[in-house]
Amino acid sequence: MLGAIGIGTLDDLLRVPDDVALKAKLEVVPALPEYQIQRRFDYFAEKNPGVEYRSFLGAGSYRHYAPPAIAALAMRGEFLTAYTPYQAEVSQGYLQAIYEWQTYICLLTGMDIANASVYDGATALAEAAIMALGTTGRHKILASRAIHPNYRGVLRTYCDGLDVSVDEIPFDENGTTDLAALAGAVERNEYAAVALQSPNFFGNADTLTQTALEAVKRSGTIPIAVVAEALSLSAFAPPSSWGAQIVAGEAQSFGVAQAYGGPYAGFIASTQEHLRRIPGRLAGKTLDNAGRTAYVLTLQAREQHIRRERATSNICTNQAHCALIATIYLALMGKTGLRDAAALNLARSRELASAVANVDGVKVKYAAPFFNEFVVDVGAPAGGVLSSLQGLGILGGVDLGRWYPELQSCILMTATELTTSGDIAALAAALDGAINVHAHI
Amino acid sequence: MSTPTSKASEPLIFELGQEGRANRYVEEGKPLKAFLPESVLRDDLPLPDNSELDVVRHYTRLSQRTFGIDLGFYPLGSCTMKYNPRVNDAIASRPEFAHLHPYTPDELAQGALQVMYELERSLSSLFGMAAFSLNPSAGAHAELGALLIAKKYFKERGETQRDKVIVPDTAHGTNPASAAMCGFKVISLPSNERGRVGVEEIRAILGPDTAVCMMTNPNTLGLFEDEIARIAAAVHEAGGLMYYDGANANAIMGYTRPGDMGFDLMHLNTHKTFTIPHGGGGAGHGPLGVAAHLVEYLPTPVVTASPQLTFALDFDRPKSIGPMRSFWSNFAHAVRALAYLYANGAEGLKRVSQLAVLNANYLRVNIAEFLDTPYAEVCRHEFVASAQALKRDHGVRALDLAKALLDYGYMAPTIYFPLIVPECLMIEPTETESKETLDGFIAALGEIVEQAKNNPQALFDAPVTTVVGRVDETRAARQPDLRWRPGRTTGSFSEKDD
């Protein structure tokens, strides 16, 4: 082949100018035959004992049942090794799956349109805020303090780039957004959007009342709903019912592996009026040259590869394969399976709440309706209590003091359909012991 | 019902399904009103119930209507569609990785942290950077992170007047879009007659307002920017930073590094260079590398190691631009990327670049026999060809050649990019293709070009072997139909909840 090219050696072919040629010795991991690579990862796998613990962790990443049929389908090479479906004629299957995903997200959220996915729930919120900034021409965003702290962090990172400030609304004694404060803030008519998460970071239903929605509308502020636990959409009234115009969410709960944080599948859905500002890919239904039904990526004039510096989002690669997994999950579960799974999450989390509330010195902090997670006040520094539980093979939840100084004695606990009564009994027993130790330090 | 080769359309999942076809994955739950007040409760969940068999057939059929690397040659320029080794997926799917919760305490997730640490250290050496963040989810996401770093860096130095980002006209579209998302003004820099950025041209636009110069090397024409050291020196002299778009990193491993070329910031698309399957448009993985003076600004968290090799996630980084995503990294992809590194080592990666460049040049010289290749010199991992003469003489465009290739069982190259080459075809074979595959592609493209001269109508009609013919994109854009709606078709599942 070198002869055909007319070059003597590979080094000649790849030669670069001397002033940039590699001189350092590369320090990368050594080459291994495949069976030894597997052994190397056996070693890493053994050093993740956390997967074996009884876990009550949630907070934006949830352990749900995923039927094996999902992986059997999604891992087919045609799906796995395809690129973004630019050549529609040989990508009809994937394009149709994206169209189905967009439909599922619309049906679940009550919105008119949905995109082909974004990186994750946090970036979905940031991109939703950018949509609202463009629509309103304003330069401030309002966000509830009961939104996932990481989501708010990412929102701030993105807004810093655009010189946009983010103000936060406090939460009240019910663990829900202080709607009086919200109404007061929007009256200044300076916010592009107001974002609420429901169920919020504390697990509670947290939506606009009719009065609050009217204040928001009067001020020309766009209501954004954040959904971090997508399974809740099968039990909770959809965001459209309380006035959300844009929904920014995370679909990890729909069969996507927790995988230490990613990849997941963010989504953005909105009312029709935001069509030209929604970021990312959109699959559309059309016809081919013989009048047959066909699918294609459409409205690409919004996107970075056409608009370049005039684009409102730079997203290119999104999370297609995770969205495919979620689509297949939704197809397999169906309405009945989703309703049953939601009912089990509601039941097990209430069983957990009763069990921990029976422990002396422990109470469930808020009375608001919750989905599958809730705040527990253990009356002692939460970090110490969680460490004690960890010593007994239990991951008791997330220490809320990490983000909320006023919640130093509070733990966010989650139960899903996979949480057993044995798990719950073990946690309650261990909590009793742990609190006795820490309450007296 | 359709067979794999049938052109009968596959119904939507919403048009299938009947009451009573639910799968019993979890036990029956109580009515939801037992747990939630009416005000919170959803009264209607308009989704179909389908048997597992019907779902399996439906998505299997959709897969058969989708072209991936596993089916054939995929010479999509700048996308590096190389073979995705299955061992990487097998390892990433292990329960100890797949089921690990992101809030697992560090001491119970040392294996995951070590995976990230080993990958980070290896990338830093391989590309000559001081450190990498594994936080960004894709290349464009890392570009955004890099420009946020630049913005913060200049702000802290009191140089807020630096608001210009220089982007060559051959750059990927994400470059200018990322710059705009950080409030930078984009200056587009034309390439010279050699298809490269010239030192003098760039000097002319450098100044006290220069923030960042974003470059891809080799560029999207597949040419090595041979004046890169002097360009970097000029940008640095003007007080600006150099950003390396790593989309084309498959061409340089073992021969040069962005750090050696003078870049301060870079991203790598591990879903290109490091064989992570692209999955039909993601998830990607875009590690963000920085030189020593910018390490403090990396997104949070950063994986740290103690001298005893105890690993931790460090969130306490006062100068950081902050988090860029919900959780730490597309970790499953970090696993795949590290497994690929173990399969190759430093020497293996050098071999990867050698064969990628060899394959590209072999295609280039053979395709040049029948199609214009505007920059007739040794290319790197990819090259551009132009159908401009065919268009002028026979009305056949790059698009027509691309569609005709589909009938031969090949994915089409990237077309109409980079923008500076008329009727452009951008071709990247990658190192994993055999000479036989390349010869087959050359023969097919040669036949198509002959046909363009003798029977152009056949190309305007292509593709004809695919499940649909050319798709009406104008109709899709003018009458957007972006979702199915209940009641519009024969869908038979109940819309009312029981």
Chain A residues closer than 8 Å to B115 by CB? 44
Chain A residues closer than 8 Å to B50 by CB? 331-332, 334
pLDDT of residue A439: 65
Half-sphere CA count of B456, side-chain side, radius 13 A: 13
A400–chain B Cβ distance below 8 A for any pair:
no
Chain A residues closer than 8 Å to B487 by CB? none
Q: In chain B, what are the domain boundaries?
A: 1-65+473-498, 87-343, 351-472
The two three-digit tokens of residue B75, written as one number = 């010479």
Radius of gyration of chain B (CA): 25
B33–chain A Cβ distance below 8 A for any pair:
no
The two three-digit tokens of residue A162, written as one number = 């655009």
- Classify the C-alpha dihedral B199-B204-B208-B209 as positive or negative: negative
Residue pair A139/A301 in contact (Cβ under 8 Å)? The answer is no
Burial letters A354-382, b for 16+ CB under 10 A, else e: ebbeebeebebbbebbbbbbbbbbbbbbb
For chain B, the straight-line distance linking the first and the last C-alpha, in angstroms and rounded, comes to 31
Residue pair B74/B411 in contact (Cβ under 8 Å)? The answer is yes
Q: Is the ipTM of this complex over 0.90?
A: yes
Chain A residues closer than 8 Å to B467 by CB? 89, 92
Chain A residues closer than 8 Å to B173 by CB? 303-308, 311, 316
Decide if B94 and A2 are in contact by the 8 Å CB cutoff.
no
Residue pair B407/B463 in contact (Cβ under 8 Å)? The answer is yes
User: How far apart are the CA of A52 and the nearest CA of chain B, in angstroms?
Assistant: 8
pLDDT of residue B7: 75
Chain A residues closer than 8 Å to B353 by CB? 14
Q: What is the mean pLDDT of chain A?
A: 96
- CA-to-CA separations, A104 to A206, A267, A391, in angstroms, rounded: 23, 11, 42
List pLDDT tens digits, range A364-423. Answer: 999 999 999 999 999 999 999 999 999 999 999 999 999 999 999 999 999 999 999 999
B207–chain A Cβ distance below 8 A for any pair:
no
Strand partners for B446: none
B404–chain A Cβ distance below 8 A for any pair:
no
Residue pair A56/A345 in contact (Cβ under 8 Å)? The answer is no
Q: List the CATH code of the domain at A68-329.
A: 3.40.640.10
Q: Which of A57, A321, A346 sits opposite B282 (nearest CB)?
A: A321
For chain A, the straight-line distance linking the first and the last C-alpha, in angstroms and rounded, comes to 75
| HEC assignment per residue over A358-407 | CCCCCEECCCCCECCEEEEECCCCHHHHHHHHHHCCEECCEEHHHCCHHH
User: How far apart are the CA of B125 and the nearest CA of chain A, in angstroms?
Assistant: 6
- Among residues A77, A92, A69, A123, the alpha carbon closest in space to that of A321 is found at A77
Radius of gyration of chain A (CA): 25
* Cis before B283 (ω within 30): yes
Per-residue pLDDT of chain B (498 residues; tens, 9 = 90+): 444 556 788 999 999 988 889 999 999 999 999 999 999 999 989 999 999 999 999 999 999 999 999 999 999 999 999 999 999 999 999 999 999 999 999 999 999 999 999 999 999 999 999 999 999 999 999 999 999 999 999 999 999 999 999 999 988 889 999 998 899 999 999 999 999 999 999 999 999 999 999 999 999 999 999 999 999 999 999 999 999 999 999 999 999 999 999 999 999 999 999 999 999 999 999 999 999 999 999 999 999 999 999 999 999 999 999 999 999 999 999 999 999 999 999 999 999 999 999 999 999 999 999 999 999 999 999 999 999 999 999 999 999 999 999 999 999 999 999 999 999 999 999 999 999 999 999 999 999 999 999 999 999 999 999 999 999 999 999 999 999 998 754 444 444 333
B416–chain A Cβ distance below 8 A for any pair:
no
Q: List the CATH code of the domain at A51-64+334-438.
A: 3.90.1150.10
- Among residues A129, A335, A148, A357, the alpha carbon closest in space to that of A245 is found at A129
Cβ neighbours of B35 (radius 10 Å): 21
In chain A, CATH 3.90.1150.10 sits at 51-64+334-438
pLDDT of residue B489: 47
Q: Which CATH class is domain B351-472?
A: alpha beta
What is d(CA A39, CA A36) in angstroms, rounded to the nearest whole number? 5
Contacts 24+ apart (CB under 8 A), B362-365: B362/A1, B362/A4, B362/A5, B362/B435, B362/B438, B363/B75, B363/B427, B363/B429, B363/B438, B363/B441, B363/B442, B364/A5, B364/B427, B365/A4, B365/A5, B365/A6
B48–chain A Cβ distance below 8 A for any pair:
yes
- Classify the C-alpha dihedral A103-A105-A111-A117 as positive or negative: negative
Chain A residues closer than 8 Å to B84 by CB? 80-81
The pTM of the full predicted model, rounded to 2 decimals, is 0.97
For A25, the closest chain B residue by CA position comes to B125
A138–chain B Cβ distance below 8 A for any pair:
no
The two three-digit tokens of residue A145, written as one number = 């303090």
Chain A residues closer than 8 Å to B406 by CB? 87, 89-90
What is d(CA A217, CA A215) in angstroms, rounded to the nearest whole number? 5
For A345, the closest chain B residue by CA position comes to B29
Chain B residues closer than 8 Å to A342 by CB? 29, 32
In chain A, CATH 3.40.640.10 sits at 68-329
Burial class (CB in 10 A: 0-12, 13-18, 19+), A145: middle
A322–chain B Cβ distance below 8 A for any pair:
yes
Positions in chain A short of pLDDT 50: none
Decide if A2 and B358 are in contact by the 8 Å CB cutoff.
yes
A258–chain B Cβ distance below 8 A for any pair:
yes
Q: List the CATH code of the domain at B87-343.
A: 3.40.640.10
What is d(CA A33, CA B64) in angstroms, rounded to the nearest whole number? 33
Strand pairing of B210-215 and A266-270?
unpaired
The two three-digit tokens of residue B275, written as one number = 């064989």
Q: Which of B42, B228, B357 sits opposite A13 (nearest CB)?
A: B357
